[in-house]
Amino acid sequence: MSTEKNVANLNQFRKAKARADRRALADENAVKFGRSKAQKALEQAQTAKAKALLDAHKKDDR
């Protein structure tokens, strides 16, 4: 009988765990800081409106 056991590549396990940890952190950050498409569009519209309002109040210095 053979006394050898299955040899595992520990480097592969270490890298797989690191990838899983990074993915979990990215998912947490997406929940914390992520914005929906509607929120991004609303913010862009508000920014454009504020810029237009400021531009309308500019004084022409000729």
Q: DSSP string covering 3-31, please?
A: -------HHHHHHHHHHHHHHHHHHHHHH
Task: Please give the pLDDT value at position 22.
Answer: 97
Task: Please give the pLDDT value at position 5.
Answer: 72
Task: Please give the pLDDT value at position 62.
Answer: 64
Task: Please give the pLDDT value at position 41.
Answer: 95
Rounded CA-CA distance 33/26 in Å is 10
Instruction: Give me the residues of the chain with pLDDT under 50, please.
Output: none
Contacts of 31 (CB under 8 A, 6+ apart): none
* This prediction's pTM: 0.48
Tell me phi and psi for residue 12, to 5 degrees. Answer: -65, -40
